[in-house]
Structure 1
Amino acid sequence: MTKALLLVIAVGTILGFCPPLAKIAAGRGVDALSFAFWQSLGAGIGLTLLCGARGVRAPVDARHLRYALIGGCLTLAAPHVLAYSAVTRIGSGLLGIVYTLPPIVTYAMMLALRRERFEAMRAAGIALGLIGAVLIVGLRGGLPDPAMWSWMLAALGVPVLLAMGNVYRTVDWPVGASGQALAAATLLGSSAILAAAALAGGHPIHRPGLDDWPIAAVVLLTGLGYLLYFELQRVAGPVYLSFIGYLMILVGVGFGHAVWDERLPPLTWLAIGVIAAGLLLVNRRKPSAA
């Protein structure tokens, strides 16, 4: 088993628990923006301390600041607030499905930027991914409750944002930079953006107490997950990185069924199968082990 595949399994499983934890936190009065803020800040501080302990240099200049803010916005702040807002309306299982789409969207973007070669089979995979999304959102029968339609449509913005983040981090990755340092900077950049958004919108940030265990749990998972996440991007590239969605859907659907008894209609399972077929086509080329 290659290093890249092991990292996909580890990162997808670890980060797959974040949306369900956000739903648990929401039930305890923690809003999506506050949850994402503490997730980013806590994990960012933790990784910064780890960098210091390991002697990893984290340059502070305009180039790295830009990377931290743009990467933080596209990788964490925007998609996480959207995902955490949606999970309370559509459930952990349905949200997990949207995390299977970033590989398809990422490949399409890399193709448009001419950073990937056109291959008919992989292009067919993009088409299947779109068909799967239409089966869920375009046909109301793909949802347990038709009232979820607008939030499911909004949730489809998550894979687009994540794909943009995957592409941006690859294109603008500072030469010679440590993935560890960039992970810490991106997390802190995300927390700065979320704090600014809360301040600008007059949105008070929830102050965690001793009983806010979902926040503590997500900080630990995010710190470990993003440490491995940036290493995965370094060794395998943005398209392969996106395949963590395979594991995230398993965690999301499994958690949703076990904890909240969420049940998906037959059309949704058909859509999952179509998307999985698309993923297999897009993933026809495997990266070399690093």
Structure 2
Amino acid sequence: MKHLWNSALGLLIVTGALLGLTLPFGKIATGAGVPPILWPFVISCGAGGVLFLVLLVRRRPIALSPHRLRYFLIAALISYAIPNLLLFSAIPHLGAGYAGIMYTLSPIVTLILSILLGVRRPNALGIAGIVVGFIGAVMVATTRGVADRPADIFWVVIGLLMPVCLALGNVYRTYDWPKDTGPIELAAGSHLATAAMLLVAVLGLGQVGSFATLADVPWLVPLQGASAAAMFAFYFRLQAVGGPVYLSQIGYVAAAIGLGAGVLFLDEHYRLLTWLGAAIIVLGVIMTTKAQSQGA
């Protein structure tokens, strides 16, 4: 376990696999009638609650400061609340596997943001990778989800907004990481803040009664909570060990898990163009990742 905690590759595989499980879990939940806004609350409440208990057992409660409080709120909004709401709203229309492909665009968007913000100068390989990734994204977008149930273009756009939020979160969390603060503390604080935001939204929308829908998936709620708690502990550790660019590559593993689960267990089928586009996106991500490593 100690070796895994210090291995960027090991953390990448474990985090990506756990992230990938949220895709089929989310589709099963929303298919059972759980509102899209409620399932992200389950994830963040479960993750934040379990990790907070771990900190209490270790006698390391979350120490609030203006910097940490700001970090928790901003990270909660752009890294979890918004992208998860987009994800679970789109999954019933696009499919778990298709939504997983969107994760793979995060490294490309991260590089684009770095260029726009002047953080990194683009080189020829990086620009080529962005172009290749964009071509793959257009190919995937034109297929509009599951082969026999093409979604409205609105949901495709919603799916494409998710990697933008993820990229923003990747950059922000590294840039503003509070000093002398461990990954479990940041994960717990960020997810408790996310859960609080989503709870206010649920109450504000008058959907208190929607909590009763969780009784339709009683086995899935604790499973998702435990999975999310483990994932985000590894997630923040991976950010500390590997940095935002390496972290963004969890989309590879998550997409593979989401596609596999969708095809094997959720009766999802995708056009050849979707698979070709996904492969081209992966090629573009490899190019942009190599370009960033060269720049570093």
Does the residue aligned with 2:215 lie in a helix, a strand or coil? Answer: coil
Report how far residue 104 of structure 1 moved: 0.8
Equivalent residue, structure 1, for 2:168:
164
Structure 1 residue 75 displacement after superposition = 1.3
Q: Which runs of 5+ in 1 are unaligned?
A: none
**Aligned equivalents of 2:179, 2:130: Cα separation in 1:** 31
Say whether residues 1:229 and 2:214 are aligned partners.
Answer: no
Q: Distance in 1 between matches of 2:256 and 2:143?
A: 23
Distance in structure 2 (CA, Å) of the matches to 1:221 and 1:14: 6
Instruction: String of CA shifts for 1:127-146, please: whole Å, max 9, x gaps.
Output: 21111111122x35886244
Deviation, structure 1 residue 77? 0.9
Q: CA deviation at 1:28?
A: 2.0
Report deviation, 1:117: 4.2
Q: Secondary structure at the match of 1:236?
A: helix
Distance 1:143 1:136, change over 3 A: farther
Aligned residue number for residue 192 of structure 2: 188
Contact preservation (8 Å) 2:106, 2:166 = yes
Contact residue 135 and residue 268 of structure 1 kept, 8 A: yes
Residue 50 of structure 1 corresponds to 54
The residue identity in structure 1 corresponding to 2:93 is R
Matches of 1:198 and 1:24, distance apart in 2: 20
Query: 1:147, CA displacement in angstroms?
Result: 3.5
Supply the distance in 2 between the matched residues of 1:143 and 1:47 (Cα, whole angstroms).
Answer: 36
Partner of 2:130: 126
Residues 7 and 232 in structure 1, CA contact (< 8 A), matched pair in contact too: yes
1:119 to 1:267, Cα distance in 2 relative to 1, 3 A: same
- Normalised by the length of structure 2, the TM-score is 0.90
1 CA distance for matches of 2:217 and 2:18? Answer: 22
Contact preservation (8 Å) 2:145, 2:151:
no
1:206 corresponds in structure 2 to 211
Which moves more between the two structures, 46-55 or 200-209? 200-209
Contact 2:20 / 2:255 at 8 angstroms: preserved in 1? yes
Shift of 1:119: 2.4
Is the 2:94–2:145 Cα contact (8 Å) retained in structure 1?
Answer: no
Q: Which residue of 2 aligns with 1:269?
A: 275
Give the Cα–Cα distance (whole angstroms) in 1 for the partners of residues 184 and 217 of structure 2. 30
- Report the Cα distance in structure 1 between the residues aligned to 2:223 and 2:243, rounded to whole angstroms: 28
Structure 2 unaligned segments of length 5 or more: list them.
Answer: none
Partner of 2:81: 77
Cα 1:211–1:20 shift into 2, 3 Å: closer
Q: TM-score, normalised by structure 1?
A: 0.92
Aligned residues: 286
Instruction: Decide which moves more: 221-230 or 2-11.
Output: 2-11
* Greater alpha carbon shift after TM alignment, 22-31 vs 237-246: 22-31
Structure 1 residue ranges, 4+ long, deviating more than 6 angstroms after superposition:
none
Change in CA separation of 1:143 and 1:28 when aligned onto 2, cut-off 3 Å:
closer
Is residue 255 of structure 1 aligned with residue 261 of structure 2? yes
Give the match for residue 23 of structure 1: 27
Counterpart amino acid of residue 73 in structure 1: L
Which AA in structure 1 matches 2:224?
V
After superposition, the Cα gap between the structure-2 partners of 1:284 and 1:65, relative to the gap in structure 1 and judged at 3 Å, is: same
2-structure distance, mates of 1:108, 1:261: 35
User: What RMSD in Å do the two structures reach over aligned CA positions?
Assistant: 2.0
Tell me how far apart the structure 1 counterparts of residues 105 and 63 of structure 2 sit (CA, whole Å).
Answer: 34
Are the counterparts in 2 of residues 142 and 267 from structure 1 also a CA contact under 8 Å?
Answer: no
Asked if 1 retains the 8 angstrom alpha-carbon contact of 2:29 and 2:217, the reply is: no
Residue 140 of structure 2: which of 136, 147, 171 is its match?
A: 136
Offset, 1:113: 2.6
Asked if the contact 2:143/2:273 (under 8 Å) is kept, the reply is no
Distance 1:141 1:159 in 2: 17
- Counterpart CA distance in 1 for 2:181 and 2:291 is 27
- The answer on whether the counterparts of 1:89 and 1:151 sit within 8 Å (CA) in structure 2 is yes
Whole-Å Cα distance in 1 between the matches of residues 169 and 11 of structure 2?
Answer: 18
Contact kept? 2:72, 2:189, Cα under 8 Å: yes
SS of alignment partner, residue 177 of structure 1: coil
* Deviation, structure 1 residue 274: 1.0
Question: How far, CA to CA, are the matches of 2:157 and 2:91 in structure 1?
Answer: 12
Q: 1:241 aligns with which of 224, 228, 247?
A: 247
Residue 144 of structure 2 contacts residue 152 of structure 2 at CA under 8 Å; is this kept in 1?
A: no
